Amino acid sequence: MDVVTWTLESHTPPTAPPRPVPAPVRLDRTSAVDPEYARFLYGYVGGAWRWTDRLDWTREQWAEELAVPGTVFLLPSADGVPLGYVQLQPVPHDDGVHVEIRYFGLAAPGLGRGLGGPLLEHAIATAWSLPDAVRVWVHTCDLDGPAARPNYEARGLVLCDTAHSDEDVPDAPLGAWVSTGGR
C-alpha cells in the first residue's frame, strides 16, 4: 500500500500555556515507563490506526528505545483507565536538541472527550521545556486518525516534508485487543 507520511515541525515555542485537560482527566508525566507498558500503550492506542511496525519488537528493542536519555511520556487517564499517551524523545544535534513527538494518540476511551488538542498542547510545551530544545517535530501518515495532521497544524506545527512509501500494512486496523497481544 502507498503510505503518505508528513513531517511537521516548529522552531519556536508556543506563546500561550497549554489549556488544561478536560475534567476528570488526569495527566501524568514520567520517564519511568517499562517495555511492557510501552508495548501495551502502543498496541492499545495504535490498534485502531494500523500501527503495526513495532508489534514484533523484542523486549530488548523496547528497552533500548526507552533508554534514550530524556525520553518522556505524558499519560492521560480517567478513573484509573489510560486514555492514550505521548512519547517525546530528544535527539542532540549540532544546533541543539530536536525533540520528536515519537508517539501521540488516544485510545477508544479517550476519544470524544475534547482531549486531543489540550494533550498535544501539553506535549509541545513539555517538548520545549526539555534542555536545549531548538526544534519540535513529528511524523504522521495517512494511516493515522483523520484528526492527527489537522491537530498538529492547529497547534503550530508546519509541514516541512512529504514522503511516499510502499508498505505492507493490514487491510484494516487490528484493534486494540489483537495489538496488545490478545487472541
Q: For the chain, what is the domain count?
A: 1
Q: Which DSSP category does 51 fall into?
A: -
Going from the C-alpha of 113 to that of each of 21, 35, 71, 78, the distances in angstroms are 9, 28, 27, 11
Pairwise CA distance, residues 51 & 49, whole Å: 6
In this predicted structure, what is the pLDDT of residue 172? 86
Question: Helix, strand or coil for residue 26?
Answer: strand
> Residue 118 is part of a domain; what is its CATH number?
3.40.630.30
33: nearest Cα among 97, 112, 88, 109: 88
In this predicted structure, what is the pLDDT of residue 173? 86
Question: Helix, strand or coil for residue 1?
Answer: coil
Domain that holds residue 107: 2-179
Question: Helix, strand or coil for residue 119?
Answer: helix
Could you tell me the pTM of the whole model?
Answer: 0.95
Question: Helix, strand or coil for residue 181?
Answer: coil
Give the CA diameter of the chain: 47
- Indicate the residue type of 40: F
Give the pLDDT means over successive 10-residue stretches in the chain (183 positions): 95 96 97 96 94 94 96 97 98 97 96 96 98 97 90 97 91 90 85
Going from the C-alpha of 41 to that of each of 13, 24, 70, 74, 157, the distances in angstroms are 27, 20, 19, 11, 24
Pairwise CA distance, residues 148 & 154, whole Å: 10
43: nearest Cα among 135, 141, 152, 174: 174
In this predicted structure, what is the pLDDT of residue 80? 95
How far is the first Cα of the chain from the last one, in angstroms, to the nearest whole number?
Answer: 25
Contact in structure between 78 and 109 (CB atoms under 8 Å): yes
79-95 CB burial, b ≥16 within 10 A, e <16:
eeebbbbbbbbbeeeee
